[in-house]
Structure 1
Amino acid sequence: MKNAPTYPISGRGPADHDVRDQIVAAATEHFSRYGYEKTTVSDLAKAIGFSKAYIYKFFESKQAIGEMICANCLREMECAVKAAVDEADRPPEKLRRMFKAIVEASLRLFSEDQKLYEIAASAATEHWQVTLAYEKRIQEMLQAILQEGRQSGDFERKTPLDETAAAIYLVMRPYLNPLILQHSFDSAEEAPAQLSSLVLRSLSP
């Protein structure tokens, strides 16, 4: 994907080596079938047809492979959210679209494949760098919308910007964090419109 966002990944060997992509593709399929927690590097090596030592030439651990898979998912989610925001002209609509896109992207990537969901859950539990980077990017995107809204007169300016951004992010977080998302499925359909409307009312000048 051209100009796609990059995420911090721990790896070995050439970053653009075809074997890395081959390992990640095979691991994604294997994790999807058997689950992340129950799969070992030895299992992956046997499934792919490589030796365990050869896989370690490209990835230092199973987590490193999981990070690459997770990064691919988060990159897709971030691009979907950014595309939705960029389609809107004014800050209030950008915020609405951001809420909607985050929920849709999270549900699409985390609920369609329960086995791969385990990777996202592990990433959130163990605070992998890829998840921290994704959350930071979403926060930056949110703050940029708020700043634009203040400049255009659509949003109030009295509350400190960082305080406002932090509060709104907490409202979004149940649909960003896979550990919380599993408890938010029932409200996912109506949540984006209701939450964004509530937030926009609080932002009125």
Structure 2
Amino acid sequence: MKPETPVVLPLRGPAMHERRQQIIQAALDHFRHYGYAKTSVADLAKTIGVSSAYIYKFFESKQAIGEAVCSHSLGQIDDALRTIARREQSAAERLRDIFTSLMRKSLALFFEERKLHDIAAVAAANHWSSANNHRAALFGIIKQVIAEGREAGEFECQTPIDEVCMAIASVMTPFSHPLMLEEKTPEQLEERVVVITNLVLRSLAR
């Protein structure tokens, strides 16, 4: 009698999470060296010793892997900004540091991790969820600082807070958008971030 084919149960819990993270790490390494466009799912599968079909158990497409890698890179920026937002400083000082940190960390991705920066550019141009989530995270961080600044009596309270946050997020765009960063030198960006932050803080004052 022909033996029955064993049933392979899908991965669950920590094992599934560990394998998913292994795929993301392999993608991160490949994208760093070869770029998003020149990396295939087959390349990643070969790197970690599995089939392409196995990769697709975790990610439905190469774009989904790219999104995960992009979320990893942008998430590190978000975490750094959240740390600033939680500091025991005035809201004005925190907002100034958020502007500067956002610009410098975005530039670091551009100059030090150029191929990962290119993925972020693709994400922004194609409205990937990773880019949208990054914008939403930034909006939330700004709103937290503005709300606390109002409670402390630092900032005016007449303008609807969402309107204020939307305006601030918009003027931050040249310091974080992957494509717009290419239009200025780091020196020009450093100069402009100071000028724009000063203008924003003056407009927020009571």
TM-score, normalising length from structure 1? 0.85
Report Cα offsets for 1:17-59 as digits up to 9, x if no partner.
Answer: 3222222111111111111012221232233332111111221
Matching residue of 1:124: 124
- Aligned amino acid, residue 84 of structure 1: I
Separation (CA, whole Å) in 1 of partners of 2:136 and 2:144: 12
Pick which of 38-47 and 95-104 moved more: 38-47
Query: Structure 1 regions of 5+ residues with no counterpart?
Result: 1-11
Per-residue deviation at 1:15?
A: 6.7
Aligned to 2:204: 203
* Per-residue Cα deviation, 1:148-182 (whole angstroms, up to 9, x for no partner): 22222211223222222111111101122212222
Q: How many aligned positions are there?
A: 194
State how far apart, in whole Å, the 2-side matches of 1:34 and 1:135 are.
27
1:102-121 maps to which residues of 2 (within 5 A)?
102-121=102-121
- Gaps (5+ residues) in structure 2? 1-9
Tell me: CA distance 1:80–1:185, structure 2 relative to 1, closer, same or farther (3 Å).
Answer: farther
Q: Provide TM-score, normalisation by structure 2.
A: 0.85
Displacement, 1:88? 4.1
2 CA distance for matches of 1:146 and 1:184?
28
1:192 maps to 193
The residue identity in structure 2 corresponding to 1:111 is F
Identity of aligned residues (%): 42
Contact 2:102 2:175 in 1 (8 A): yes
Deviates more, 1:134-143 or 1:102-111: 102-111
Letter in structure 1 aligned against 2:77: M
1:188 partner SS? helix
Which protein shows a greater Rg? 2
Q: CA deviation at 1:62?
A: 0.6
Deviation at 1:192, TM superposition (A): 3.1
Q: Does 1:58 align with 2:62?
A: no
Q: Could you tell me which residue of structure 2 aligns to residue 155 of structure 1? A: 155
The question of whether the paired residues in 2 share the 8 Å contact of 1:13 and 1:58 is answered with: no
How far apart, CA to CA, are the structure 1 residues paired with 2:125 and 2:162?
A: 25
Q: Deviations over 1:116-161 (max 9, x none)?
A: 2221111111111122112111111112211222222211223222
RMSD (Å) for aligned C-alpha atoms: 2.0
Deviations 1:71-124 (A, max 9, x none): 111221111111123224211111111111211221222331211222111111
Q: What's the counterpart of residue 94 of structure 1?
A: 94
